[in-house]
Amino acid sequence: MQGAGLKASVDAFQRSLIADCLERHQGRWAEVARDLAVDRANLNRLAKRLGIR
């Protein structure tokens, strides 16, 4: 990811982290939010912004 801007790098990292967590929790968003220690509504907004949901 060298040469990418900070925002693009952070977005890619967040997308990867959420995707890995979703796989580990078999698509259960509530468990993903709990595991990542974020509110479900915030996770939902972030996932929409990142194009995951």
Give the C-alpha separation, 27 to 35, whole Å.
13
Residue 25: inside a domain, yes or no?
yes
Number of domains the chain contains: 1
Residue 28: inside a domain, yes or no?
yes
CB 35 within 8 A of CB 3: no
Task: Please give the pLDDT value at position 2.
Answer: 67
- CA–CA distances in Å: residue 8 to residues 13, 18, 19, 47: 9, 15, 16, 15
Residue 37: inside a domain, yes or no?
yes
Task: Please give the pLDDT value at position 22.
Answer: 97
pLDDT tens digits, 6-46? 999 999 999 999 999 999 999 999 999 999 999 999 999 99
Domain region containing 13: 9-50
When pLDDT is cut at 50, 70 and 90, the band that residue 1 belongs to is low
- Tell me the whole-structure pTM to 2 decimals: 0.86
Residue 4: inside a domain, yes or no?
no
Q: Does the structure show a pLDDT above 90 at 52?
A: yes
CB 22 within 8 A of CB 50: no
* Cα diameter, the chain: 35
